[in-house]
Structure 1
Amino acid sequence: MTKWGGLDERLAGAGYRVITLDNRGSGLTRDEAGEATTPDPVPLTGPGANPDNVFAWCVDDMADDAVAVLDHYGVDKAHVVGVSMGGLIAQNVAVRHADRCRTVVPIMTSFDLNGAVATAMQKNPEWWGKLMEAAAAGGLTEGMSQQEVLEKSLPIMKLCATDKAFPDWTPRLQSVIEEAVAIDYARGGIDWGGKGAARQSLAINAWTASKLAAHKEGLKKLTVPALVLHGRYDPLIPIQAGRALHELIPGARLVEYDGGHNLGNDDTVRGLIEAAIVGHIALNN
């Protein structure tokens, strides 16, 4: 819930009630019972790993979690926005709980994340090599200082936050990352050892194997008004994935912006993203 780059605050500033949450395996959200029944997830997501459907939870569960949060706050219907994996979760909320969605806004995501990532790796092996190298060197060990966490996190952040349109690492980007790390560190939300992220990867693997086909059919019948947003230069989940998602959902709108796997590195781009979401909400409120 700390990785919105200010978009959540800008939407709140536009007059909307904004509720964000930590997905299972991130921040302060844990599923200790589920985690206790599964082995260490990190080796199962390494090179050459074949987890054979081992998972603590599935993407369906994460979508149901979001609806449970709405229940907790007494919200009958909401505009559901999700980014990257959160975009897949948002799709699942719309398919599984259409009666709870006013609209759905999947951002820089795909209906098949594993397939999109596999395509990206083939298209841009050099970038992916750098990402894997940064990930291997960026492990977070419990007890690290906030500054150590920041220094370990920066290489990955720099790869994902910059893009072809805006390739420079700017003071603004540095401050956004520093603030996010500071908040996560202070609230005890650091993913020590990467186990949370690994469990989320296993959740995607299990969901893809067992639920992807049905999900695609659900999207083809979706009546929830959908807006798909995607950066043209996304190296992690290529723009073609966003276009395919848009084509699958009846009546969906597609907005492409100058960016990568981020929410805009320029005031104009950030304004375009915000205006697209606000406009979509206004049309379907």
Structure 2
Amino acid sequence: MSDDGSDSDEFEVRTIEVGTQSLRVAIRRGPKGRPPLLLFNGIGARWELAKPFMRALKRTEAIIFDVPGVGGSPAPPRPYRPSTIARLAERLITQLGRRRVDVVGVSWGGGMAQQFAHQHYSMCRKLVLVATSPGAIMVPGSPGVLWKMATPRRYLDREYMRRVAPEIYGGGFRRAPELVDALASAMSGASHIGYAYQLLAMAGWTSLPWLWTLKQPTLILAGRDDPIVPLANGRLMARLIPSSRLEILDDGHLFMVTRPAETAAIVEKFLDE
């Protein structure tokens, strides 16, 4: 059932029951000639944060869902692991009648994307990792930035978000503070428990032991000015994933938000190869 009348020509937004979990799902309509693109969003972000990127796709159907506890997806009764989200995504894709997908993961969602590609490798054709890392074993950002990331306050207090966004996200947010309001609106849907579950999901998780086993062609996109996930993490993953390459954008952590058309063009070129 659709739950959003806006953008109805481009997007189908509805709630889908996947087992015992309700998921708010958005599908950006597109041609059916190749697998759809499954997106895993960043921490605390509703699907709307990815809307400009999804809208910029020219030749691709795209599917995204609010993680349990965020946006229109109610919190689950207990904490979960990345393997839980990967399994939930696999069941969703199967219910939607798709057999294979290309996968994009952004920041926190990059961990979910890696887990999905590893856990459901036969369903994942290509993998795109955006501003992300191998998890707990990574080159960390500055302690001050990580401390600000550990609390959902920036989603609840817009003035606080305006103050800290340039320091946290870098890149375009240093040059265009007006981007903050759009960001805050799209990241206001995480409950306290939902945000805590997202943090707990990544506690101790790392893909380093098995990155070398990933079979999918992989595109790694990283921002040169990323205070949260330093560029060294992209370089590390590019060395460990066999069929991978790294592209560096002259921007910060959220270049999918600040430069959606450019990012979409890079991703679609990779998917077309």
Bin for the TM-score computed over the shorter chain: 0.7 to 0.9
Computed over aligned residues only, the root mean square deviation of the Cα atoms, in angstroms, reads: 2.7
My pick for the range that moved more, 217-226 or 101-110, is: 217-226
Pairing partner for 2:119 from 93, 96, 115:
96
CA distance in 2, matches of 1:95, 1:239: 23
Q: Which amino acid aligns with 1:114?
A: A
Pairing partner for 2:74 from 30, 38, 48:
30
Q: CA deviation at 1:114?
A: 2.8
Cα deviation 1:118-151 (Å, max 9, x = unaligned): x323xxx4x52xx6469769377xxxxxxx7534
Q: For residue 224 of structure 1, what is the aligned residue in structure 2?
A: 216
Pairing partner for 2:133 from 89, 106, 110:
110
Pairing partner for 2:141 from 120, 137, 150:
120
Q: For residue 277 of structure 1, what is the aligned residue in structure 2?
A: 267
Q: CA deviation at 1:99?
A: 0.8
The reply on whether 1:155 has 2:155 as its aligned counterpart is no
Q: Which amino acid aligns with 1:4?
A: A
Q: CA deviation at 1:177?
A: 2.4
CA distance in 2, matches of 1:272, 1:102: 22
CA distance in 2, matches of 1:8, 1:233: 23
The reply on whether 1:246 has 2:262 as its aligned counterpart is no
Pairing partner for 1:6 from 47, 52, 69:
52
Q: For residue 15 of structure 1, what is the aligned residue in structure 2?
A: 59
Confirm or deny: 8 A CA contact 1:160 1:260 kept in the other structure: no
Secondary structure, in 3 states, of the residue corresponding to 1:81? Answer: strand
Q: Which amino acid aligns with 2:202?
A: I
Gaps of 5+ in 2: 1-46
Distance 1:237 1:139, change over 3 A: closer
Distance 1:136 1:204, change over 3 A: closer
Q: Which has the higher helix share?
A: 1
Q: CA deviation at 1:32?
A: 3.3
The normalised TM-score by structure 1 is 0.70
CA distance in 2, matches of 1:236, 1:250: 25
The reply on whether 1:63 has 2:55 as its aligned counterpart is no
Q: CA deviation at 1:3?
A: 1.9
Distance 1:135 1:203, change over 3 A: closer
CA distance in 1, matches of 2:84, 2:257: 32
CA distance in 2, matches of 1:98, 1:243: 23
Q: Which has the higher strand share?
A: 2
CA distance in 2, matches of 1:166, 1:200: 24
Q: CA deviation at 1:271?
A: 4.0
Q: CA deviation at 1:59?
A: 1.1
Q: CA deviation at 1:170?
A: 3.9
Q: CA deviation at 1:15?
A: 2.4
Confirm or deny: 8 A CA contact 1:87 1:109 kept in the other structure: yes
CA distance in 2, matches of 1:274, 1:21: 19
CA distance in 1, matches of 2:148, 2:85: 29
Q: Which has the higher contact order (CA 8 A, sep 6+)?
A: 1
Aligned length: 227
The reply on whether 1:138 has 2:125 as its aligned counterpart is no
Q: CA deviation at 1:27?
A: 1.6
Distance 1:135 1:95, change over 3 A: closer
CA distance in 2, matches of 1:139, 1:132: 12
CA distance in 2, matches of 1:61, 1:265: 27
Q: For residue 76 of structure 1, what is the aligned residue in structure 2?
A: 99
Structure (1 or 2) with the larger CA radius of gyration: 1
CA distance in 1, matches of 2:123, 2:90: 8
Secondary structure, in 3 states, of the residue corresponding to 2:167? Answer: helix
Q: For residue 186 of structure 2, what is the aligned residue in structure 1?
A: 180
Confirm or deny: 8 A CA contact 2:136 2:203 kept in the other structure: yes
Distance 1:201 1:222, change over 3 A: same
